[in-house]
Structure 1
Amino acid sequence: MKKRQIGIIGTGNLGIRHLQAVALLKESCRINVMDISKEALQNAKEVWQETEGAQNHEISFVTEMTSMPKELDAVIVATVSHVRKKVIEELLAHARVRYLILEKVLFQRLEDYGAVRELMEKNQVQAFVNCPRRMYPVYEKIKKKLERARTMEIMVSGSDWHLGCNGIHMLDLIGYLAGTEQITAGVSESGQMTADVSGSEQITLDISGLEPECLPSTRKGFSEIAGTIRGSLGRCRAFSLASYPQKGIPASTVILSDVCWCRILEGKRELDFADASTGWEWKKETFEMPYQSRLTNLALEELFAGGSCRLTAFEESCRLHMALEEQLIPWFEKRGKEKGLCPIT
C-alpha cells in the first residue's frame, strides 16, 4: 500500500511540535520536512531522533520546495506570517496538495486573503487554520453546555499574553462557542469594523482600549500590542480581550450566559462552573489541556478518515483575521509602520 505523503514547512518552535505530533500517526507515513535554514533542519533531525513513534515512519529533510514530492496528502505550513503567502504559492505551483493546515496569524496584508483563497479554489485544496482550542475537551464540553444559550458575554484577561499574536486564538474561541460559522466582513460608514454573521448578526470590534504604543515582539522584526479589544460576535453580545502590561495577573476566561457560567484558568487547568443544576453555586473541577505535539496527528487522522477536522475552516478563519486586521493596520500605520501591513506573527 502506498504511504501517505505528509509535508511540514517551517521547523521553528511550532513546526517542531507539529513534527512530534505527526510521529504519533497510527498509519505509517512518509514525512517530508522543509526549511530554508540548515540549522533549523539540523535541530529538527535531532528532535526527531528522540521523538516517540519516529521509528514507524520514513522521513526526509530538505531546504528547497522543488525537493518536496509532487503529490502530498497533507501539508502543515508553520512559517512566520510575512512569508506564508509566498510559501503557499510556491507549494501549490510545485505540488498537488489535498489538505493544508496553516499556522496563524495567517497573512499580514488584507489582499493576501483573497489571493490565497482563489489559489486554493483553483487547486481544489481544503485548508484549515491551527486554532486548536476547538479540539480541547474542556471547550468542547463548554460549547455543548452553551448550545441552548440565547446570549453570552466572554471576558479574557491576563498579563502580557501577546494580544496581537494570540488575540486571534481567543477571537476564534469566541466564534466557536458563539456558533458563528458564517461571517462576512465589512466596514460601516462610520469606519467601525462590522461583519454579517449568518446574514443577520454581526461582529463589531473596538480597539480604542489598546495601549498607545506598539511593542516589540519576541520575534525579531515583528510587533505586538497590549491593552483591551472589545466587541460582539454572534450570540456573544459583548466580549473583551485584555492583555495588561503589568506582570503577575494570571490569564483567565470568564463566560456568562443565560444557561451557565464558566471561569477557566488554563494555567492551573481549573474550571469553575455554575448552572441551575448546581443552584448557581460555583463547582470546581480540573481538566487536561493537550499539547500541540499530541493534537496535529488527531487533526490529520480526522482529515484522512472523513475529509474534515475540528480545526477552524480556512474561510471562517479568514473572516475573523480580516475583521481584526482591518482595525489594526490603520492603527499600526499611525505609529509609523509600513502602509497596508499588520506586522504581527
Structure 2
Amino acid sequence: MEKVALIGCGNIGRRHLQALAAANRPMQIFIQEPDLDARDAAVELITGVRRLEFEFMNSAREVSEASDGSLDLAIIATGANVRKVALAQLLDSVRPRTVLLEKVLLTSERDLQEVGHILSDLGVNAYVNCGRRGFPGYRQLKSELFGMKCTSFSVKGAGWGLCSNAVHFIDLAEYLFEEELTALSGKALDFGSFPAKRPGCIEISGRLTGKLESGGMISLECLSGQFQPIFIEVACGNLVWIIDEANREIKTLADGEVVRSRPFESRNVSEMSHLYVELLEGRSVLPDYNTSARQHGFLLRVIKAHLNLPEGESTHCPIS
C-alpha cells in the first residue's frame, strides 16, 4: 500500500485529496491539518472511498511515526508564506521519495535557493503543481507546435489573479515551446495593488511582458474588476491558436481566418489523478523544482520592483 502525506488540507489541499481518491490505488494518506473545519470537509470528500485509508496528524513528527518513516509522496499544500517551514519540518522527520509543492512556491529568492539546496542535498525529487501540463488539450497542442518557433504567447482576462497565477502561464509557454523565459517586465502593470482573497496578501492588475529564448514575446494581462474567463493565444508565424478554457474550445487561424475549431480538453486538479499516479511511479510531466524556482524568481523580482520593496534576495513578496 502506497503512503502519501498531505500537508495542508484547505481548499487546494482538498483538491489534491480528491485526485488521490480518484486514482483508485491502495493508499494510506496522512493528513497534517490542525483546523477542525478543514478536517471535517476532507472527511466528507473521502469517507467510503475504496482502497483508501486516511488519518489526521498535528505535526510532521506524527506523520513520520504513523508512516514508519517512509513516504512515497508528500504534497505540501500550505500557504506560500509557511511552505518552507512546513517542508523543512517534514524533511527533518521523514524522507519522501517524491515531493509535490503548490504554487506560489515561495515568497523570496533566498528561500527559493535554500529549499533547492536542501532538496538537492537530500536527493529528494520535487515538482511544482503547474497542472496545465496535464491538460490533454495542451499536450495535443504541444505536439502540433513541435519544431515551430514561437512568435507570441498571450493571456487575456480579468480578475484571474496575476500574482497568484502568472507562473502557471509562464510555465505553460515554456512547456509548449520547450524554451526558457529570458526576461520579464512589469512596466505595463497598473499602479499600486489591492488585497487578495488570502489575508495578508496582495494582487496586482495590468500586464506582464516577457521574452523567450528564441525571441518570442509573452504577454499576461489581467484586468481589474470581477473575474472574466481567460483567452490564451499562441502565435507561430501566420498561424494562431486561440484557447477558450472556460468553454473548452480551441480555434486555429491562418492569416487571420478560422480554419479549424475543435473541443479543448481541460481538467480541474481533482480530475487529474493521472498526474499523481505518475508521481507515485517516480516520474512527472510537471515542472521540476529548479525549473519552477527559476520561473518564480523572475516573477518575484518584478513584483518587488512594482511594490518598491527592497531588492535583496531575502525580501518577501506578500503573495500566495
With the shorter chain as reference, the TM-score category is over 0.9
2:253 to 274, 282, 290: 274
Instruction: Kindly indicate whether residue 214 of structure 2 is the aligned counterpart of residue 214 of structure 1.
Output: no
Map 1:58-69 → 2, pairs under 5 A: 58-68=53-63, 69=67
Residue 132 of structure 1: how far off its partner (Å): 0.6
Aligned residues of 1:37 and 1:63 also touching (Cα < 8 A): no
Q: Which amino acid aligns with 1:301?
A: V
List alignment gaps of at least 5 residues for structure 1: 181-196
Map 1:52-91 → 2, pairs under 5 A: 54-68=49-63, 69=67, 70-91=69-90
Aligned residues of 2:24 and 2:50 also touching (Cα < 8 A): no
1:16 maps to which residue? Answer: 14
Aligned residues of 2:232 and 2:242 also touching (Cα < 8 A): yes
* Structure-2 separation of matches of 1:248 and 1:171: 20
Aligned residues of 1:204 and 1:232 also touching (Cα < 8 A): yes
1:292 maps to which residue? Answer: 269
Residues 266-324 of structure 1: CA deviation (Å, up to 9, x unaligned): 11111111359xx96432112231121121x312221333x211111111011000111
Aligned residues of 2:209 and 2:218 also touching (Cα < 8 A): yes
* Structure-1 separation of matches of 2:227 and 2:11: 25
Map 1:316-335 → 2, pairs under 5 A: 316-334=291-309
Instruction: Kindly indicate whether residue 81 of structure 2 is the aligned counterpart of residue 105 of structure 1.
Output: no
Secondary structure, counterpart of 1:267 in structure 2: coil
Residue 29 to residue 236, structure 1, CA distance change in 2 (3 Å) = farther
Q: Percent identity?
A: 28
Aligned residues of 1:11 and 1:34 also touching (Cα < 8 A): yes
146-155 or 68-77, which moves further after superposition?
146-155
Residue 247 to residue 93, structure 1, CA distance change in 2 (3 Å) = closer
1:165 maps to which residue? Answer: 164
2:223 maps to which residue? Answer: 244
What CA RMSD, in Å, does the superposition of the two structures yield over aligned residues? 2.0
Figure out how many residues of one structure are paired with residues of the other and give that number. Answer: 313
Using the size of structure 2 for normalisation, the TM-score is: 0.92
Secondary structure, counterpart of 1:318 in structure 2: helix
Aligned residues of 2:160 and 2:227 also touching (Cα < 8 A): no
Q: Which amino acid aligns with 1:260?
A: L
Structure 1 segments of 4+ aligned residues over 6 angstroms from their partners = none
* Structure-2 separation of matches of 1:142 and 1:163: 24
Residue 75 to residue 236, structure 1, CA distance change in 2 (3 Å) = farther
1:136 maps to which residue? Answer: 135
Residue 28 to residue 149, structure 1, CA distance change in 2 (3 Å) = same
Secondary structure, counterpart of 2:307 in structure 1: helix
Instruction: Kindly indicate whether residue 41 of structure 2 is the aligned counterpart of residue 43 of structure 1.
Output: yes
Aligned residues of 2:248 and 2:264 also touching (Cα < 8 A): yes
Aligned residues of 1:5 and 1:29 also touching (Cα < 8 A): yes
